[in-house]
Chain A
Amino acid sequence: MNASQNNARRVAIICSHGGLDEAYPSLILANAARQSGIDAFVFFTFWGLDVITESKLDHLHVNMVGNPSAPVPTMLAGLPGMESLAGSMMMKQMKELELPTVREFLQILDEAGAELYACELAMKMFKREKKDLAKEVKDVITAGDFYDLAEGAQIIFT
């Protein structure tokens, strides 16, 4: 997969949000890229770190507040436990669709050859260490490293 050598297509996906609905687009895009023979790597930063944090990735929530597509009025969306409820409901529906869970997805991406990176600054901010992350995460890198890696790649920000 020496993409830069054989001039293959590459994508760099930046995942900066930790909601369940915000994690999936990044994961699906990365996976679809690999399936299409496109080299992919994902850079998890800020809240996106939750998607690869071992203790959080199994119960990501869905934020309903300020979301005009939410099935409940914003007035109610802010009630305690609502995002947790929405998250579990969405997970249930995804299960019905046989969609992989976030954990499975990380494993699939890893096996498919997509590379996952965590943002160093965000790690410091959230006081997380490499050992707190899922084992599929390849490295903790800086924004500068990201640009080095993303050379010649299309960058997708989610």
Chain B
Amino acid sequence: METKNVHVPGPEGKTQDHSLAALHARLDQLSADVTYLVERQRKIDDFLDDFGPIAKAMLNSTASRLDGYEKRGYFEMGREALGIVERVAEGFTPDDVRKLGGAVVGILETVRELTQPEVLKVASEAASVLQNAEEAAPIGIVGMVRATSDHDVQKGMSVMVEVMRQVGRAAAAVRDKRAASPMGQKKAKLDAVLGRRMGTQKSALGVERTLPPRPREAASKIAAPASKGPACATPAAPAATATVLDGVGFSADGHMTDASQWTRELGQKIATMQAVDMTDAHWKLVEVARKDFESTKTSPNIRRLTQITDVTTKDVYALFPKAPARTLAKIAGLPKPAGCL
């Protein structure tokens, strides 16, 4: 600052004077800068003085926290996680990963669905129940049945059933897909070659047990009469001869006891006694009835008649208004129709 007062006279004095002034200005600028820097340094020093203990404390706490994490196994877990990633990389081909890419959206959607607040609430409530499980009173079958009358339980059951249904559907879809895949077909072929039992996928979901063959006696007992002949009718034992008219035996209820003795003339006589005016339609039914008796050894009832011919129940009643099947059997020289149809 003393330089300010130095004055150098000379011919070039004016120019020297001029450069000196410039130098002066620069020095002034420098001095201001230095002052600013000094001030800043002081502020930083102040700050560091203040910050030092804080930083130290922070460092300490970070270190102890990391130490805690280490103790709790976070890093171990991280290392393990890396291992998992490695294993994933080993176990999956790029193709799998590409496929997975498509599924990621689905997975994320599932996660989003699962993390909806209401879903989480349900889960947390269910979890709280499980936590208090030891306080729950044991119930038996009766208690369980009684509980089903509770509205909430009913709702829960409905939800469970729906979940099970969806899981079952998904499982079936997966099974079908696997069976249809080239790998599944290969496996099936291999199983066939090795003679492994097919259809019993023991390791798969939905193992279907094969039931031991049930004795079909009960069913065959019921079916037996049906296979022998017309419905609800079993061949009756020939009725005892009660009266003999013109050498032809009749039972007590008016039926001929021996169908082979029948002639058309005899039939006509019986018809007249029964007050039936015989027409071609009547005789046709008589023939049908006699033919059916030959094959089944049973006098046909109305249902049987409608089944083996194209006449309707109405027609049969029109032809023989009173007790059609019985009248017909009498005229045709057959025993009384058995069964109740």
Contacts and interface: CB of A to CB of B under 8 A. Distances in A.
Nearest to B341: A31
A28 interface: yes
A105 to B, nearest CB: 9
Contacts of A1: 321
Contacts of A112: 302, 313-314, 317
Q: Which of B225, B230, B313 has the most CB of A within 10 A?
A: B313
Nearest to A104: B303
B322 interface: yes
A60 B317 CA distance: 29
Interface in B178-232: 222-223, 225-226, 230-232
Interface stretch (B13-21, B29-37, B123-131, B323-331): B323-331
* Interface residue range, chain A: 10 to 19
Interface residues of B, number: 23
Q: Describe B's contact surface by its main secondary structure.
A: helix
A96 B222 contact: yes
B232 A99 contact: yes
Given A37-B323, A112-B313, A97 B301 contact: no
Nearest to B324: A35
Contact of B225 (A37, A97, A107): A97
B340 interface: yes
A113 B317 contact: yes
A152 interface: no
Given A28-B340, A111-B312, A112-B317, A97 B324 contact: no
Closest 3 CB pairs of A and B: A98-B231, A37-B323, A111-B313
Interface of B: 222-223, 225-226, 230-232, 301-303, 307, 312-314, 317, 321-326, 340-341
Interface of A: 1, 28, 31-32, 34-37, 93, 96-100, 107-108, 111-113
